[in-house]
Amino acid sequence: MDKQGLELRMADRAQRRGIRNKKRVIAIAATVLGAALLVLCGIFVYRTVINPGIVFELPPKKATPMPTQAAGALPGQVEEEGPQLIADEDFMRGRVNILVLGMDSSAERRETEREDFRTDTMLLVTINFNTGKVDMITTPRDSYVKVTKATGELYKVNSAAYFGGGLCHSGFMNACDTISGVFGGIPVPYYIGVDMDGLKALIDAMGGVEYDVDVEFRGDSGQMYKKGLQHLNGTQVLDYLRLRKGYGTDVDRQARQRRMLVAIFKQLAQTGQIKNLPKIYQALSDMVYTNLTFEQICALVAFGASFNDWDNIGQYTLPGEYHTAYGVYYYLLDQKAKADLVKKVFGVEIGIDKKHDIHYVLSDPRNKNTGKEAEEQDGEDEPDETKPVKPDKSEAPDKSEAPDKSEAPDTTAAPKPPEDKGASEGDGAPADES
C-alpha cells in the first residue's frame, strides 16, 4: 500500500511538473510573441508616423535608352529624346510624388472603359517629408506633350491612360510615365484615380465640407449658388467642380479643384476624421484606384494628421497658352518656364523639350494661320479674360531654330482616340500659385 501510494505521489508530482513546464513554455512564447508584436508595432509606427518617407522606396534607376532611328530617317539620323533629368535621383529621398487622376465618367464611359476613357484631371502632388512642404502641380488636360505608347505625336496629355489600356493599372501607370516625361524625368511611381462618384461619397461620408465659393452659378443639379462661405454636400461639390464654359478656362477649373481638395483634407485633419481614411478607402475601393499599399496610405494619413501648413501648400499650373496647332486646339507649354517651375519645386534642372515648346510649335510653317484660328476660337468661346505667361524676350528662341518640314510632326499617320467631346475651351492661362 505504501509502495502504491509512493507511485501515486510520484505520478502526481510529475504531472504538476509537466503543467509548470507547459505554463513556462506558454509564458516564454507569449513573451516572445508580445516582444515581436511590440517590435512590429514600433517598426510600423516608425515607418508610418515618425519617418513616413521610408515607406516610399526610390524607384529603380532606369538605364539610359539608346537613341533609335526614326522610320524613314536618313542613315545615322536618330530620333530626338525628350528632356532629360540633369540630376541624380537621390533628390527623391524623403519625397514622394503621386499623380492624382480625376475621372468624370458617365454610364456610357463605364460600359466602354478603354474606348472612351480619358482623365479630366492630372494633378501631381509632391510631398517632401524632410521639410514638410507640399506642392500641387496641374498639367492641363489639353496639353500638347509626348504621350507614352502613343502611335503618333499629335495627342493631348489626357489620352495617356487610354494608350496604356484604359481604366486599369497599366492605363494609370502609362499616365504616370507620361507625366514623368513632361516633368523631364522626375519619378512619378504612384497614382490615385478618383471617380467623381467616389469624391461625392467621400464628402457625404465626412458630413460635407465648408467652402468659400468664389462665383455665382447654377449647377448641373439645377441649384443656384451664391458667393461666400457655405456648407456643401457631395452633390453640391460636384456642381462646383464641374463648372466650365462661361467660368474661365480648364486652367481655372483645375485651380478650383485644387482649392477644393485642400479644403477637404484640411477639414479632415482638423476634425480628426483623417484617421478614418483607410476605412473610408476600403469602403469606396470600387470608386478609387491606386497602387499605394495600406502601409503607405497609413503613412500619408499620419503625415496629414500632423500637417498644419494647409494655407501654404504650393499650387501651380504648368505655364502655357491655348492655341490651335496642327488643326487641333491645344494648351501649348512654355518649356523654359516649366523647367524654371521644376527647379523651384524640386530643386533640380531638366532639359528643354524643344519640339513641344509653344515658341517652336507656333513658328512651324504649318501653323501660319494659328493666330487667326485662335482668335476665331476665342471669339466663339467668349472666355473670361486671363493673362497668359509671357517668357522674357531675352529667352525667346532663335528663329533659326524654327522647324523645317522634315521636323514637323506627322499630322496624318497616327490614328486618333475617339473625339473628346469635353475638350476645354478658352483663351491663354497663367501659371498660378494660390
Higher local confidence (pLDDT), 81 or 195: 195
Q: Record the cell numbers describing residue 155, joined without a space.
A: 495627342
The pLDDT score that the predictor gives to residue 45 is 45
Query: Residue 423: pLDDT band by 50, 70, 90 thresholds?
Result: very low
- Structure letter (DSSP) for residue 137: E
Tens-place pLDDT, residues 179-217: 999 999 999 999 999 888 888 888 998 889 999 999 999
Which residue type does 402 have? A
- In this prediction, residue 59 carries a pLDDT of 54
Q: What is the CA radius of gyration of the chain?
A: 28
Is the per-residue pLDDT at 168 higher than 60? yes
* Short-list 99, 105, 84, 109, CA closest to 160: 99
Task: Identify the band that residue 147 occupies on the pLDDT scale cut at 50, 70 and 90.
Answer: very high
Q: What is the 3-state secondary structure (H, E, C) of 183-221?
A: CCCCCCCEEEEEEHHHHHHHHHHCCCEEEEECCCEECCC
* DSSP secondary structure, 320-372, as one string: EEEEEETTEEEEEE-HHHHHHHHHHHHS-EE---GGGBHHHHHTSGGGTTHHH
**In the structure grid, which three cell numbers stand for residue 156, read together?**
493631348
Query: What pLDDT does residue 224 have?
Result: 93
Instruction: Please give the distance of CA 88 from its chain centroid, rounded to a whole number.
Output: 22
258 three-class SS: helix
Give the chain's mean pLDDT.
74
Residue, of 125 and 395, whose pLDDT is higher? 125
Q: What pLDDT score was predicted for residue 43? A: 43
Tell me which of 376 and 265 has the higher pLDDT: 265
Q: Which three cell numbers stand for residue 324?
A: 490651335
Residue entry with cell 508610418: 48
Q: Which of 365, 369, 368 is nearest to 377 (CA)?
A: 369
**In sequence order, what are the residues at sequence separation of 6 or more whose Cβ sits closer than 8 angstroms to the Cβ of residue 96?**
53, 56, 126, 127, 129, 190
Is the pLDDT at 69 greater than 60, yes or no? no
SS3 track for 269-311: HHCCHHHHHHHHHHHCHHHEEECCCHHHHHHHHHHHHHCCCHH
Cβ pair 342, 353 in contact under 8 A: no
Check if the beta carbon of residue 137 is closer than 8 Å to that of residue 324. no
Q: What is the helix (H) or strand (E) element at residue 128, kind and residue range?
A: strand 121-128
pLDDT confidence of residue 76: 33
**Euclidean distance between CA atoms 390 and 358, whole angstroms:** 11
pLDDT at 146: 93
Residue the block writes with cell 499605394: 292
Half-sphere exposure of residue 147, counting CA atoms within 13 Å on the CB side? Answer: 27
pLDDT digits (tens, 9 = 90+) for 366-377: 776 544 444 444
For the chain, give every domain's residue range: 16-50, 52-57+85-401
3-state secondary structure of 148: coil
DSSP H or E segment with residue 225: strand 224-225
Instruction: Fold for 52-57+85-401, please state it.
Output: Aminopeptidase (3.40.630)
- pLDDT tens column, 116-126: 568 889 999 99
Q: Whose grid coordinates read 489639353?
A: 142
Share of the chain above pLDDT 90, in %: 33
353 near 218, Cβ under 8 Å? no
Q: What is the spatial distance between Cα 87 and Cα 394, in angstroms, rounded to a whole number? A: 26
Q: What value does the mean pLDDT take over residues 73-87?
A: 45
pLDDT higher than threshold 90 for residue 173: yes
Q: Tell me what percent of the chain is helix, strand and coil, each rounded to the nearest 5.
A: 45, 15, 40
The DSSP code for 409 is: P
pLDDT at 71: 39
For the record, the C-alpha cell of 30 comes out as: 507569449
Q: 15-49 pLDDT, tens per residue?
A: 777 677 776 767 666 665 555 544 444 444 444 44
The pLDDT of residue 230 is above 90: yes
Query: For residues 74 and 419, which has the higher predicted lDDT (pLDDT)?
Result: 419
pLDDT tops 70 at residue 399:
no
Rounded average pLDDT over 223-251? 88
Phi, psi of 212 (to 5 degrees): -90, 95
- Are the C-beta atoms of 207 and 195 separated by less than 8 Å? no
User: Residue 6 pLDDT > 50, yes or no?
Assistant: yes
For the ranges 174-183, 226-235, 280-289, 310-319, the lowest mean pLDDT is seen at 280-289
